[in-house]
A and B are shown apart, each in its own frame.
Chain A
Amino acid sequence: MTIDKIFNSCDEAVADIFDGATVMVGGFGSYGGLPINLIVALSRQGAKDLTIIANMGGVGYELSHRIKPGGYQDSGILFENGQVRKFIGSVPALGGMPPTSPLERLFNEGKVEIEMVPQGTLAERLRCGAGGLGGFYTPVGVGTTVEAGKEKKVIDGREYILELPLTADFALIKAHQADTPGNLVYRQTARCFNPVMAMAAGVTIAEVDELVPTGQLDPEVIVTPHIYVNRIVEVPA
């Protein structure tokens, strides 16, 4: 028996994301691996009080005009749209002229909570969530604001802090190709956070440039095995 994972549209694929859900959003920054069509669908769908786990908070449509004439969309539109209660990630805002993201504005107004996580710690917390581990000790953040409230341990004379796993109800990810069972391959730096998020969420929804029949992907080069992928939408690049 095959399970049909193919959805005809991003709107259908995100339809059951509920108010209060925790949603991982793949990619890195404003480009390169961002599942932008799923993000736009989620903004249309309108689910509220979301917890977003992502590397960056995004620039949003309004502020993007500062960077590119005509503007562009990224994960910032979910914040502009008032759909987010909490952000967990490494770059809520950039260092330029404030505010540099809708998230920064909302945070300063007390409307969104931020959990600031060093980028490598974010990746490893996702891997722990994916792999059934209870956490890990890292030297990253020792002696900084990041260590506040965390268990400390000295191992072989070096200080470490305990970081805990991250999981989510949904992950929105971007891949280059999927086959019908849902094996994924990525393109260049568009891989980034997508594979670990695919593995760490309950329901993983993948937006792909191209859907190919079973057997068309070389098993030696598959990055994300199909068991981590629940829904696939083909959005030709």
Chain B
Amino acid sequence: MKERLNEQTIALRAAREFTDGSVVNLGYGMPGLCANLITGDRAVFFQSENGMLGYGSLATDEEKDYELINASDQPVTPLPGMCFFDSAAAFDMIRGGHIDIVVLGAYQVSERGDLANWGRPGRPATGMGGGMDLAVGAKKIIVTMLHTTKDGGPRIVRDCTYPLTARQCVSLIITDLAVMAVTEDGLLLKEIAPGWTVPEVQALTEAKLTPAADLKEIEL
């Protein structure tokens, strides 16, 4: 049976990329779910561009404190050892290469790893927030996104047609259908959703996918 990953399982797959000790920034929307998917015995330090390092999971209704929020305006929970700083210091960390992994959403990703995640045709006033800084500064960019548009059109494309966030910045793309690595030779299809074939996924992808020698089903 063909299955598509849901937002929770896409986030779970992304969280498996976090090695112990890594500093991770989670972008707006689906990436924020990753904060709830780290179990107690793992040491991952979540950084937020509004000036916080080392926060815990998203807060429940009883725990909500609106002076303890992530960059998506969602209340989070404190952890021992966390620290606060101002926006300028937060972006020194980001631009200066002190963040190991950033997980971002996207409208489009190109086969070279160009990222478009802040503007859409007809919406000139939506802003990039910290997305450009994160895309330029982090050691590794993981994109979590749905594989196609609502109309079934491709979002993994040869060239981005939406406004760019940064060029050649994405390392790994995780969608509801596949996990793809951006390489010098284009997109390497590493994992595929249960029940899907390579031609079926390729048909929903504008960029050319090269199946990895060890291509496997996405494990969760």
Instruction: List residues of A whose CB falls within 8 A of some B CB.
Output: 28-33, 55-57, 89-95, 98-101, 103-104, 107-108, 114, 116, 118-124, 126-127, 138-146, 186-196, 223
Contacts and interface: CB of A to CB of B under 8 A. Distances in A.
Given A90-B127, A93-B126, A189-B68, A29 B84 contact: no
Contacts of B37: none
B66 A138 contact: no
17 contacts: A29-B73, A32-B67, A56-B127, A90-B128, A92-B127, A95-B28, A95-B120, A101-B125, A118-B128, A140-B132, A141-B132, A189-B50, A191-B84, A191-B85, A192-B50, A193-B87, A223-B86
A92 B126 contact: yes
B211 interface: no
Contacts, number: 155
A145 B48 CA distance: 25
B163 interface: yes
Given A28-B71, A140-B95, A196-B87, 7 more contacts: A91-B127, A93-B123, A95-B126, A100-B126, A114-B125, A139-B95, A146-B128
B198 interface: no
B126 A94 contact: yes
A137 B68 CA distance: 32
A39 to B, nearest CB: 16
Contact of B91 (A31, A103, A119): A119
Contact of B164 (A95, A98, A143, A194): A143
A22 to B, nearest CB: 19
A110 to B, nearest CB: 11
A140 B14 CA distance: 25
A30 B73 contact: yes
B90 interface: yes
Contacts of B125: 57, 92-93, 99, 101, 103-104, 107-108, 114
A116 B165 CA distance: 13
A32 B84 contact: no
Contact of B67 (A33, A144, A223): A33
A118 B123 contact: no
B124 interface: yes
A13 B126 CA distance: 32
A189 B167 contact: no
Interface string B73-94: 1000010000011111011001
A90 B130 contact: yes
Q: Which of A31, A56, A120, A123 has the largest number of chain B CB atoms within 10 A?
A: A120
A90 B66 CA distance: 21
A100 to B, nearest CB: 8
Please give me the 6 A-B residue pairs with the lowest Cβ-Cβ distance, nearest first: A120-B91, A120-B133, A91-B127, A119-B130, A31-B66, A104-B125
B67 to A, nearest CB: 4
B68 A93 contact: no
A42 to B, nearest CB: 21
B129 A140 contact: no
B73 A189 contact: no
Given A93-B123, A120-B91, A120-B133, A191 B86 contact: yes
Contacts of B33: none
B52 interface: yes
A100 B90 CA distance: 26
Interface in B78-127: 78, 84-88, 90-91, 94-95, 118-120, 123-127
B166 interface: yes
